[in-house]
């Protein structure tokens, strides 16, 4: 019998959670309210000033240059990926996300503050079963020397193998591999901060980007190393790439079971992979955690006590 480590039940939050901050690119204030779902509805943003609702689906993905943007009916919601990463990482797949501006707060540049807010609110199980997109045939997207592919994995696991090569002495080659579980996500991925090179900042600012960026919310690599005091991980850059990928996979609209391998990728390739998977239904099947696994998992707490206590 194959044992899956994936949680079989759909989850939302137990109570609402609110976070406020400013956007990385536009530097405008934004308040986000995470509202528990009363049924399995997926992840849905609601832009309060217009009332526009944007489901988290690949078909709504817009501009992907430096962040993941959702677009619908003329409303753009920018930099959604770190919140989405925390939700996917902690297996919260049904939630209404109310926002009062068009760019989500960057907070400390990682998913850490979102993780804390989610754990503080607590998790609520919904009726029904989680349905996974289980990959049965490889799907690959390439852009020159950058590529990403997904292939079948054991049972319903999501395994991620990511590598980056920066022609910069402070980053260089980094690679990491992980089988995703909520505990591993929180410990190994969620606190890795977004990063850029010091030499890129002037060019970004002249394009009206990164106006809210600072050493408080981004890791900045100068010629001799990070300008920030300390790295949270020696390979924080590749860990943040994995964080972004996990968030972008929310665009599938369902949890993924497969091995994702990526090299030098970014939001554009992550989203291209999600679209390619959805465009190739012959490459995957819908699957649920077998009932025997489901009853076993239900007897276990969602998060280990140590995990919940450090929120
Ligand atoms: Zn990011």
More confident residue, 52 or 223: 52
Per-residue confidence at 304, pLDDT binned at 50, 70, 90?
A: very low
Give 103 Cα–ligand 1 centroid separation in angstroms.
13
Q: Is the pLDDT of residue 303 over 90?
A: no
Q: Which pLDDT belongs to residue 292? A: 66
User: In whole angstroms, what separates CA 255 from the centre of its chain?
Assistant: 12
Give 82 Cα–ligand 1 centroid separation in angstroms.
6
Mean pLDDT of 52-80: 91
Q: What's the Rg (C-alpha) of the chain? A: 19
Q: Which pLDDT belongs to residue 4? A: 41
Q: What is the pTM of this model?
A: 0.92
Annotated active-site residue in 25, 82, 267, 270? 267
Per-residue confidence at 293, pLDDT binned at 50, 70, 90?
A: low
Give 23 Cα–ligand 1 centroid separation in angstroms.
13
Give 48 Cα–ligand 1 centroid separation in angstroms.
24
Collapsing DSSP states into helix, strand and coil, what is residue 138? Answer: coil
Residue 270 catalytic?
no
Phi, psi (degrees; rounded to nearest 5) at 101: -150, 180
Q: Under a CB-based contact definition with an 8 Å cutoff, are residues 51 and 96 in contact? A: no
Q: What are the chain's domains?
A: 11-309 (3.30.1700.10)
pLDDT, tens digit, 9 for 90 and up, residues 213-223: 889 999 999 98
Give 162 Cα–ligand 1 centroid separation in angstroms.
14
pLDDT, tens digit, 9 for 90 and up, residues 187-233: 999 999 999 999 988 888 888 888 888 899 999 999 888 998 799 99
Q: Which pLDDT belongs to residue 305? A: 43
Cα of first residue to Cα of last residue in the chain, in angstroms, is 35
More confident residue, 85 or 299: 85
- Residue 61 zone, left/alpha/beta (φ > 0; ψ -120 to 50; rest): beta
| Long-range Cβ pairs for the range 295-301 (8 Å, 24+) | 297/7, 297/8, 297/9, 298/8, 298/9
Q: Which pLDDT belongs to residue 5? A: 63
Q: What average pLDDT is seen over the chain?
A: 91
Mean pLDDT of 102-118: 97
Q: How far is CA 195 from CA 41, 198, 223, in A?
A: 33, 10, 14
Mean pLDDT of 44-57: 97
Give 83 Cα–ligand 1 centroid separation in angstroms.
10
Q: What is the DSSP string of 2-14?
A: PPP-S--S-EEES
Cα–Cα distance measured from residue 260 to residue 273, given in angstroms and rounded to the nearest whole number: 10
pLDDT, tens digit, 9 for 90 and up, residues 117-160: 999 999 999 999 999 999 999 999 999 999 999 999 988 999 99
């Amino acid at each position: 019998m194959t044992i899956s480590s994936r949680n079989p039940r759909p989850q939302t939050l137990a109570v609402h959670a609110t976070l406020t901050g400013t956007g990385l690119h536009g530097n405008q204030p934004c308040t986000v309210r995470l509202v528990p779902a009363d049924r399995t509805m997926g992840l849905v943003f609601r832009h309060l000033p217009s009332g526009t609702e944007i489901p988290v689906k690949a078909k709504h993905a817009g501009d992907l240059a430096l962040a993941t943007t959702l677009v619908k009916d003329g409303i753009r919601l920018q930099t959604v990926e770190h919140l989405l990463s925390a939700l996917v990482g902690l297996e919260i797949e049904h939630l209404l996300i109310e926002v009062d501006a068009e760019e989500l707060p960057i907070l400390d540049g990682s998913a850490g503050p979102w993780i804390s807010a989610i754990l503080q609110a607590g998790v609520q199980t919904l009726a029904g079963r989680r349905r996974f997109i289980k990959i049965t045939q490889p799907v690959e997207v390439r852009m020159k020397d950058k590529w990403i592919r997904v292939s079948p994995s054991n049972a319903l696991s999501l395994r991620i193998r990511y590598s980056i090569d920066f022609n910069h002495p402070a980053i260089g080659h980094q690679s990491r591999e992980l089988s995703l579980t909520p505990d591993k996500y929180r410990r190994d991925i969620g606190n890795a901060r977004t990063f850029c090179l010091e030499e890129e900042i002037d060019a970004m600012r002249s394009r009206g980007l990164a106006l809210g960026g600072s050493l408080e919310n981004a890791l900045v690599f100068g010629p001799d190393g990070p300008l920030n005091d300390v790295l949270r991980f020696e390979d924080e850059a590749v860990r943040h790439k994995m964080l972004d990928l996990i968030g972008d996979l929310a665009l599938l609209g369902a949890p993924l079971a497969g091995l994702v391998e990526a090299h030098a990728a970014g939001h554009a390739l992550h989203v291209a992979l999600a679209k390619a998977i959805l465009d190739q239904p012959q490459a995957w099947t819908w699957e649920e955690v077998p009932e025997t696994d489901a009853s076993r998992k239900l007897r276990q707490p969602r998060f280990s006590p140590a995990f919940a206590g450090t929120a």
